[in-house]
Amino acid sequence: MIDWGMIANLVGGAVTTLWISSVSIAIGAPLGLILAMTRVWRVPVLSQGVAVFVSIIRATPVITLALFVFFGIPAMGLTLSPTVAALITLSVNTSAFHAEIWRASIMDFPQNQSEAASAFGMTRLQAFRLIVLPQAWRASLPPMVNEMTFLIKSSPAIAVIGVVDLTRTASRIAAYTYDPLPPYISAAIIYAVVVFSLVRAQRVIERMIVRRYGVL
């Protein structure tokens, strides 16, 4: 017998997981691009700072980062709700990974196109906006979807600082009913559906790009 009340609760938790992850990606992806550009253009001082930041964030577990944000920032005198702390945690984490994705795709960009752009009298910013970016985002797309699935899979870290996401909803139901199997297995299935849909969506988008532009 399927307990529909439980499923409804879990879907509510999944919605929280999804909106927090989506907003974090919406913040983290452009932030990652800015971080990547300071490195690509070798902006003095900033570029080295960004390299250290990216290296440390990429090596830090999301849950450690979440505890750092949730306990560390209030200790400096700023109060945070769990949701805001979760958004900061996931945005910072994914910005570091996005920085590496952007950097790789921009560094791989054919040199001759940049040279041609400057031969046409474009400034570096114009060439970047009109020539590099419209092509580089396509190359970045597959690793970005990959990063999204990683973000979803590490998002239970925000459950630990009190956000009622899918994982926390499942453990609440388990604690309430003393029957851990149904909520945890249902939650696992919901996560699997989300991750599978992302992977499928990636294939569809890749095919659309290939059809429209000829190459990825």
Partner 1 sequence: MIDHFVRALTQWPLFLEGFLNTVWLCVFTAIVSLLLAMLLVVPLMSRLLPVRAIARLVVDSVRSVPFLLLAYMAYYCLPAIGISLSSWAAALITLVVYNTAYFAEILRGAWSHLPPQQEEGGRAFGFTDIKLFVYIIGPQLFIAAGPILGNQLIQVIKDSAFLMVITIPELTFKANQVQSILFVPFETFIIAGCLYWVLCNSVEWMVRRLDQAAEMRRAR
Least distance in Å: CB of 212 to partner 1?
28
Contact between 63 and partner 1 by CB under 8 A: the answer reads yes
Q: Which is nearer to partner 1, 115 or 179 (CB)?
A: 179
Cα–Cα distance, 212 to 107 (Å, whole number): 24
Contact between 56 and partner 1 by CB under 8 A: the answer reads yes
Contact between 170 and partner 1 by CB under 8 A: the answer reads yes
Q: Select from 40, 17, 56 the least CA-distant residue to 148.
A: 17
214 to 23, 113, 207, 211: CA distances (angstroms) = 31, 18, 10, 6
Contact between 179 and partner 1 by CB under 8 A: the answer reads yes
Contact between 195 and partner 1 by CB under 8 A: the answer reads yes
Tell me, what amino acid is at 24? S
Q: Which is nearer to partner 1, 82 or 137 (CB)?
A: 82
Q: Select from 73, 31, 71, 72 the least CA-distant residue to 54.
A: 31
Residues 102 and 140 sit within 8 Å (Cβ to Cβ): yes
Contact between 185 and partner 1 by CB under 8 A: the answer reads yes
Residues that bind partner 1 (CB under 8 A): 55-56, 58-65, 67-68, 71-73, 75-76, 152-157, 159-160, 167, 170-171, 174, 179-181, 184-185, 187-188, 191-192, 195-196
